[in-house]
């Protein structure tokens, strides 16, 4: 079983899309092994998005990700990373495939409702950034 981190971003929580995103995750057959809502501090958001610190959108991204609560989840299943990335759709909702979360629910490239790990190494890092081992109910 593979695990990946999923985040419902502040635009998703503000628009009351949490239930819809979870419905799509479960309809895809992915299990939610851990979940909690959190208001990210600036420091925590900066640490999470550290790899983007030199990019021009970094400050805007941090401002957005700390603007409201997020829902943090560990998803689990066979090929969970690729399945979640397919379900999310392309980062830019205008380029996302029909039926994906971003195409159906997002407003723009920054306010695109969800985040997902982009590979196995980032999934391990991202999961452990937010969750301790005993927070995760693996095999659910």
Task: Say what the alpha-carbon torsion angle 116, 47, 2, 18 is, to the nearest 10 degrees.
Answer: -40
128 in catalytic set: no
Q: Distance (Å, rounded) from C-alpha 138 to C-alpha 140?
A: 6
Q: Distance (Å, rounded) from C-alpha 101 to C-alpha 9?
A: 12
| Token pair of 37 as six digits | 């809502």
| Token pair of 65 as six digits | 């990700």
Burial (CB count within 10 angstroms: exposed 0-12, middle 13-18, buried 19+), residue 133: exposed
Residue in 87, 105, 115, 116 annotated catalytic: 115
Active-site annotation, residues: 115
């Amino acid at each position: 079983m593979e695990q990946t981190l999923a985040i419902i971003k502040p635009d998703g929580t503000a628009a009351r899309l949490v239930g819809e995103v979870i419905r799509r995750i479960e309809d895809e057959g992915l299990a939610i092994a851990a979940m909690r809502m959190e208001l990210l501090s600036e420091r925590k958001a900066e640490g999470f998005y550290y790899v983007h610190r030199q990019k021009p959108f970094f400050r805007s991204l941090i401002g957005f990700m700390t603007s409201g609560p997020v829902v943090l989840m560990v998803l689990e299943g066979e090929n969970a990373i690729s399945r979640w990335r397919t379900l999310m759709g392309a980062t830019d909702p205008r380029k996302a495939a029909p039926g994906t979360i971003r195409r159906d629910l997002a407003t723009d490239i920054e306010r695109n409702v969800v985040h997902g790990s982009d590979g196995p190494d980032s999934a391990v890092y991202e999961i452990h950034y937010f969750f301790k081992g005993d927070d995760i109910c693996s095999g659910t």
